[in-house]
Amino acid sequence: MSSVPDGKKLVRSPSGLRMVPENGAFNSPFSLCEPQWVPDKEHHCRRCGRCFCDKCCSTKVALPRMCFVDPVRQCGECSRISQKEVEFYDKQLKVLMGGGTFIVTSGTSEKSETMICRLSNNHRYLFLDGESHFEVELTRISSMQVLTDGSAPEGGNSRASGMLLHYKRMGSLDPQQLRMEAGDDKKTASSWLAAMHKAAKLLYEARDQ
């Protein structure tokens, strides 16, 4: 459960030092597995595992999705992807863990509750706190739809105003629905939803690996 402490350990892989959970079951849902590779005279990309000449694999970029402590060698294509993900880890994750206030409706209930929704420190759960408290494990989310308010300046994009989640509770096969609509602080809620939309892309990519 979310109350289990998540210890970390430093391990040395052929690609570099990595700070990983002591229990592999507690890996971040955004994490990617380190590719297998065989040492040879060529250089290999730490992200995709393919071999390249020195010129095509000379850039060292942070790779937090594989828990590397230091920037590691990556090919041109992978380094561009990783650089975009570094922004997610540096900015969007902080927004998600900071939380936002939402009007939450569970299932088909007509009763709503004002709750603060935030991402847990280990990135594995959404915590929802109000008069009641419950948790949604990210790996058990089957679909995530960002709702918009439909109003935007001419030529601009609609602002995110809510989110519709479908997930399964631990030990249950029945799908659950959660509707979240921005509370009074709509600016903070909109930023949180935008960050969650980016998180969903990483979540699905890790799932499909």
Q: Do the Cβ atoms of 97 and 121 come closer than 8 Å?
A: yes
Q: Which helix (H) or strand (E) holds 114?
A: strand 112-119
pLDDT of res. 43: 83
Q: What three-state secondary structure class fits 179?
A: strand
Q: Do the Cβ atoms of 193 and 100 come closer than 8 Å?
A: yes
Show me where the domains of the chain are located: 8-92, 99-208
User: Which pLDDT band holds residue 79 (cuts at 50, 70, 90)?
Assistant: very high
Q: pLDDT: is 160 or 79 the higher one?
A: 79
DSSP for 35-104, please give it: PP----SSEE-TTT--EE-TGGG-EEE--GGGTBSS-EEE-HHHHHHHHHHHHIIIIIHHHHHH-EEEEE
Q: For a pLDDT cut of 90, what percent of the chain falls above it?
A: 52
At the fourth CATH level, which superfamily is domain 8-92? Answer: Zinc/RING finger domain, C3HC4 (zinc finger) (3.30.40.10)
Over residues 3-34, the pLDDT tens digits come to: 445 688 888 888 889 988 887 667 888 988 88
Phi, psi for 197 (deg, rounded to 5): -65, -40
Over residues 95-142, the pLDDT tens digits come to: 999 999 999 998 877 899 999 999 999 899 999 999 999 899 998 999
Q: What is the pTM of this model?
A: 0.80
The amino acid present at 34, given as its one-letter code, is E
CA distance 41 to 125: 43
Average pLDDT value for residue range 76-93 = 92
Over residues 133-151, the pLDDT tens digits come to: 989 999 899 999 989 876 5
Candidates 2.40.160.60, 2.30.29.160, 3.40.50.880, 3.30.70.100; CATH matching 99-208: 2.30.29.160
